[in-house]
């Protein structure tokens, strides 16, 4: 039986990794309006938002890795 925590952490890690890419590659004026950091007609790139999202993604991937347990059973 699969453990739900590593699966959830892995899926959230993928979501935050995609969010980090979106923040790092898209100017604030082109972000979807529902994402924090949207500023109409702005060319500013949210580097801090991208770095924090990347760190959260890496932490979630590490959590998923360590919670999956031993596969020797």
What tens-digit pLDDT sequence spans the chain (73 residues)? 478 999 999 999 999 999 999 999 999 999 998 988 888 888 999 999 999 999 999 999 999 999 987 665 5
Q: What is the pLDDT of residue 69?
A: 74
Residues with Cβ within 8 Å of 6's Cβ and at least 6 positions away in sequence, in order, are 63, 64, 65, 67, 68
Q: What is the pLDDT of residue 15?
A: 97
CA 18, CA 21: separation in Å to the nearest integer?
5
CA distances from 42 to 7, 26, 45, 46, 73 (A): 37, 10, 9, 11, 54
pTM reported for the whole predicted model: 0.86
Boundaries of every domain in the chain: 4-67
């Amino acid at each position: 039986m699969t453990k739900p925590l590593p699966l959830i952490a892995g899926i959230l890690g993928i979501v935050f990794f995609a969010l980090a890419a979106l923040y790092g590659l898209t100017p604030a004026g082109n972000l979807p309006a529902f994402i924090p950091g949207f500023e109409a007609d702005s060319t500013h790139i949210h580097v801090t938002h991208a770095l924090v999202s990347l760190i959260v993604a890496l932490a979630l991937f590490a959590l998923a890795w360590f919670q999956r347990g031993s596969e020797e059973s």
